[in-house]
Structure 1
């Protein structure tokens, strides 16, 4: 199925230097509930979006459903790293190595390469030590280690596990489409920065995925009879929110978001400007019009990650999700200080995100 990518959209944020506009940033937003109903939007909520690492929970689901975690003794922290875009801190690299050992694999089996870390502090340390990163240092090493285990769990070779035609990736593709409520041919696939297939699908389906994660945790916490898929999604939710420091790292937005909301919200960034959040059901999600949990997905057209985090924080304020105290913990991302080399504030960020509420739910 052929789908074209939209490359235009309304302005969500503007950066001023003095009184002059320096940059404008276009964006799309989709807000859905646990039933997949579109509650609010900005721009095109059906914008076909490369979810990149925001799709990791769905890819981890495919591995989890092979039985690999039980077979190789992976724990919840390992599952969190499978969903991570980590900062290559020592704790991340050490856990990735332990996962490889549990899966009877080695760093040489990884088909992701080393790269500069996402953490400035780690980068400085590496430069001082003249450290050369290998595959285990990739921010996606947890996902790759999990896939090496998943391949073995279905009786497939680990060689070529990253290729689109490998039996594990065929399984991953079906699982990703299925959990997003799409037929297999409604998802486009490309090659990610870490060398694995990465999906593209409508933005509201990314929101749907994260609403499902939060809804699954709601259902399991009520001790209701849940399906194996629901239990698996809830397990992923708990792993990410219990170990947010493994999902990203020190000072990173994903980690601080999940720490601030203390288990009530899961969030994950995707490279080049995509983000998704799942919010557990509450009086606040009900006021938004949700039946149960809430899912929010964002795409910034120019891929600016700093602007992405600012817009996500702005959306939480607009939707009145969480407390003011919780949202204030994200203030450095929401309204970042834009300073020059002398510490003088030179620029300011303004928002123009106006959510259009679905008329179907009696709001405008």
Structure 2
């Protein structure tokens, strides 16, 4: 299905004049993968970029690498991170490499300017040149090295699509998104690893599985299948260490801190975001009880529009208390100010999710 795809979901106003508009695609699914709400094209083939990291971390976990190398929950959170290159991030990546018996030179990601303005200012003062360990994806790469070693494959070229580890990752990503391998397309990410593309609603499906797995883990009858246990482990790691998944002042960290374990969220470059919401009275209004998965793609990749849209979706679905949403005020339709601190405009979400009707007995 496609809904009002051509209508902008977010408008940026300078005064009362529209300066830019941003089209959004949104998919909201239940724990069975059924599409409940949509905007735009919920089936848009989407390069979800770093929002796929929990699925890639799942692939590494299923090699047995976490237990073999003594990776704890904080290490696992960093494997799912787009971190800010804060000292705690870099130090933990170095510790992960030491556990694997690898070195920074083994990483096949490159250094870059940090995602944190505060870190960037500190680097400039020190005249610091970032290396591979400073990449926002270095935790994922350290995990990939562990995965390669765990399956007995060479560390060299672990990043190449032909490497046995990446072939394993390809299979796991397709499986967890309930797709055949041919249903996932692959490109090369900014960090030099393969990155998947699949229909947007499958990203929502991935994240509802994370939340539902944690619900099952907390139920009286704990899950017995290892994949559900691994998905729950990833959920707990990310929500227990939100400061490692992103960093101070970043949206992912603020979101998971505000909701205190009730949801997991992860950004992807170029305007992707995904959330898994655990079962609650709020989700029951939409699902009858189980968890919810949410996936968003801003067509032009604008990050301000993305975070505004995420908050608007949570508000429309009734997810979160007034206090929890207030914890995201920095990102919630923020005012635009000029260099003198004068408010010159605002970011305005202008959309309504559309309910998707299903014939009786039919799954989305």
Runs of 4+ in 1 over 3 A off after TM superposition: none
* Corresponding residue of 2:343: 345
1:291 CA displacement: 4.6
Superposition pairs of residues 1-364 of structure 1, within 5 angstroms: 9-226=6-223, 227-289=225-287, 291-360=289-358
In 2, the alpha carbon distance for the partners of 1:351 and 1:257 equals 18
1:157 CA displacement: 0.3
TM-score normalised by L of structure 2? 0.96
In 2, the alpha carbon distance for the partners of 1:256 and 1:21 equals 29
In 1, the alpha carbon distance for the partners of 2:189 and 2:209 equals 24
In 1, the alpha carbon distance for the partners of 2:288 and 2:333 equals 28
Counterpart secondary structure, 1:151: helix
1:78-112 deviations in Å (ceiling 9; x for gaps):
00000000000000000000000000000000000
1:260 CA displacement: 0.2
In 2, the alpha carbon distance for the partners of 1:361 and 1:319 equals 22
1:230 CA displacement: 0.2
1:244-297 deviations in Å (ceiling 9; x for gaps):
000000010000100000000000000010000000001110112355110000
2:25·2:298 contact (CA, 8 Å) conserved in 1? yes
Bigger shift: residues 184-193 or 223-232 = 223-232
1:348 CA displacement: 1.3
In 1, the alpha carbon distance for the partners of 2:234 and 2:187 equals 24
In 1, the alpha carbon distance for the partners of 2:206 and 2:287 equals 18
In 2, the alpha carbon distance for the partners of 1:100 and 1:290 equals 45
1:360 CA displacement: 2.3
2:278·2:291 contact (CA, 8 Å) conserved in 1? yes
2:43·2:201 contact (CA, 8 Å) conserved in 1? yes
Pair 104,330 (structure 1): closer, same or farther in 2 beyond 3 Å: same
1:39·1:361 contact (CA, 8 Å) conserved in 2? no
2:93·2:139 contact (CA, 8 Å) conserved in 1? yes
1:9 CA displacement: 3.9
In 2, the alpha carbon distance for the partners of 1:240 and 1:326 equals 18
1:235 CA displacement: 0.0
1:361 CA displacement: 8.1
1:307 CA displacement: 1.1
In 2, the alpha carbon distance for the partners of 1:32 and 1:291 equals 13
Bigger shift: residues 286-295 or 247-256 = 286-295
1:101-136 deviations in Å (ceiling 9; x for gaps):
000000000000000000000000000000000000
In 2, the alpha carbon distance for the partners of 1:249 and 1:166 equals 31
